[in-house]
Amino acid sequence: MSWLPGPDIVGPSLAAEPVQVSPRSTRRSGPSDGDDSRFPAGALAQKDKTGKKRAAADSPQRVVRPTVPVPQHDLKRLEELGIRRYESQRLVLYTDLAPELAQPLPPLMDQAYAAWEDYFGPLPADSGETPFQMIGYIMSDRALFREAGILTDDIRIHLEGVFRRQVFWMNDQPLDYDRRHLMIHEGTHCFMVAFPNITNRHIWYMEGMADLFRTHTTDANGRSQFRVFPTDRQRFTGLGRTKVIEEEVRSRGPRRIEDVATLTVNDFQNYDAYSWSWALCAFLDGHPKYRERFRRMGGLVVGRNDLPLDLSQVFKQDWPEVSEEWLVFAGNVGYGYDIERTVLDLRPGKVADPQGKPAQTDVAANRGWQNSGVLVEKGKTYRLQAAGKCVLAKEPKPWDSEPQGISFRYHGGQPLGKLLATIRSASPEKKPPYTTMLQVMPIGRELQLTPDTTGTLYFRVNDFWNELGDNQGSYSVTIHREP
């Protein structure tokens, strides 16, 4: 969780040079020559002395990851202290935990390693072709590890864990899920710094991706899935990331993408920076319009290039849209938030003709904010009328609703099923919350609306953001601009 200063660290402001070896062999791992699918456009391009671009694959030297010395311990002495050793292909674990708690951890890390390779790509081999293996210390009684000479004065754990290259130290956690997800968090760091790369200088990405991978589920057969969005408090006990964001949004509004992407090491002395970094990575990794470009950035972790990791450039072609969707996500995020169902259509609406036919739009109950296609103007008056039925949920029983909603449950101070509206301002907002789409207007069956801003009108059927999937039906809404 923390960056550990020292000669072995590749931290956010310190990156060692990749090791180069003789040209007689080619790279054995990582993207193959000519396969740049994991890299942003131009990421593999370099320039020769004439200024002409050449492919990185044409380099006469192959790049390998640095070889890291493996700590050696007196196992007999450790056993006397109650510290046991467990090993899998990708992790050597030393811990004073009870065996039934410790034994499942190395195999879990092996599964996480496979997920990292699938996402980032395989790590380059080191010069000795040594398989990558992490060393981890999970400590219930830190005094035992101090006595063993493992937890020395230069190993300072600020919050719960710390890492140095492919070695990590962490405090044991009271809950098994907390223990597992903190271990995966630290392991993700070890993987991401194994090959010095530009992402090591961007702490929001390092911490956000570590939190993204640590959020996992494991089935009865021991098979784990990583990068899952936390669905509920019971299954993801102790995670707490969405709660931190919800509290800050209530008091100050959401942070912008650029606020998160410029977080510094000092910002990570508190948990809120971890929460926002996770949220940004979860949003970009999960959004169907943006995830391909975001995931392509992962190739920087195992590839050799020094391009800046600048989100405003990666998403240059649609930066206003990315920023708007992020603010709507961050302003509403909670357990089980359904990114797929809340994708926004941000095309600007058209001005309604007071002499023409009223505009009509259908509002599905199983989606988030939906574009009406109408641009409403500040100070003008519009008559909104809604009709239709939808079904909210299936358990414990289906609830039929009309546009006025049903009062058996409330969300955001309004009955579930009630027709709501918001406006996306035609001009950017320069003050928090930086978007008008967090200002929600209850509509119901009928309303005369005189907006205080000009922008595109959106509707949705009121429900919790994590309960949209089992809704059915829609409302039909007519929008008439009055003379």
Supply 451's token pair: 């907006």
pLDDT at 284: 98
Half-sphere exposure of 273 (CA within 13 A, CB side): 19
User: Does pLDDT of 196 surpass 90?
Assistant: no
pLDDT at 101: 98
Predicted confidence (pLDDT) per residue in 463-475, tens digit: 999 999 999 999 9
- In Å, how far from its chain's centre is CA 82? 38
Please give the helix or strand (H or E) that residue 389 lies within, else none: strand 382-392
pLDDT at 307: 62
Predicted confidence (pLDDT) per residue in 150-189, tens digit: 999 999 898 889 999 999 999 999 999 999 999 999 999 9
Across the range 274-284, mean pLDDT stands at: 97
Contacting residues for 156 by C-beta, under 8 A, at least 6 apart: 2, 4, 162
pLDDT at 64: 82
Domains of the chain: 2-197 (no CATH), 347-481 (2.60.120.430)
pLDDT at 55: 42
- In Å, how far from its chain's centre is CA 145? 34
pLDDT at 395: 74
Predicted confidence (pLDDT) per residue in 298-349, tens digit: 999 998 555 668 999 999 999 999 999 999 999 999 999 999 999 999 999 9
If one compares 58 and 402, the residue with the highest pLDDT of the two is: 402
pLDDT at 42: 36
Mean per-residue pLDDT over the chain, rounded: 87
Percent of the chain past pLDDT 70, that is, above it, reads: 86
Predicted confidence (pLDDT) per residue in 113-155, tens digit: 999 999 999 999 888 888 999 999 999 999 999 999 999 999 9
Question: Tokens 């010095």, residue?
Answer: 196
Across the range 396-407, mean pLDDT stands at: 92
Predicted confidence (pLDDT) per residue in 207-238, tens digit: 999 999 999 999 999 999 999 999 887 777 66
pLDDT at 413: 96
User: Does pLDDT of 67 surpass 90?
Assistant: no
Q: Cα separation of 327 and 437, whole Å?
A: 8
pLDDT at 309: 83
pLDDT at 31: 32
The Cα-based distances of 42 to 53, 63, 122 in angstroms read 10, 19, 20
User: Does pLDDT of 33 surpass 70?
Assistant: no
If one compares 366 and 127, the residue with the highest pLDDT of the two is: 366
The amino acid at residue 202 is H
CB 144 within 8 A of CB 78: no
pLDDT at 321: 97
pLDDT at 48: 41
pLDDT at 155: 93
Cis preceding-peptide flag for 396 (omega within 30 of 0): yes
Across the range 420-438, mean pLDDT stands at: 93
pLDDT at 19: 40
CB 361 within 8 A of CB 479: yes
Predicted confidence (pLDDT) per residue in 35-57, tens digit: 333 333 333 333 344 444 444 44
CB 47 within 8 A of CB 235: no
pLDDT at 247: 93
The Cα-based distances of 87 to 92, 114, 194 in angstroms read 4, 16, 19
User: Does pLDDT of 438 surpass 60?
Assistant: yes
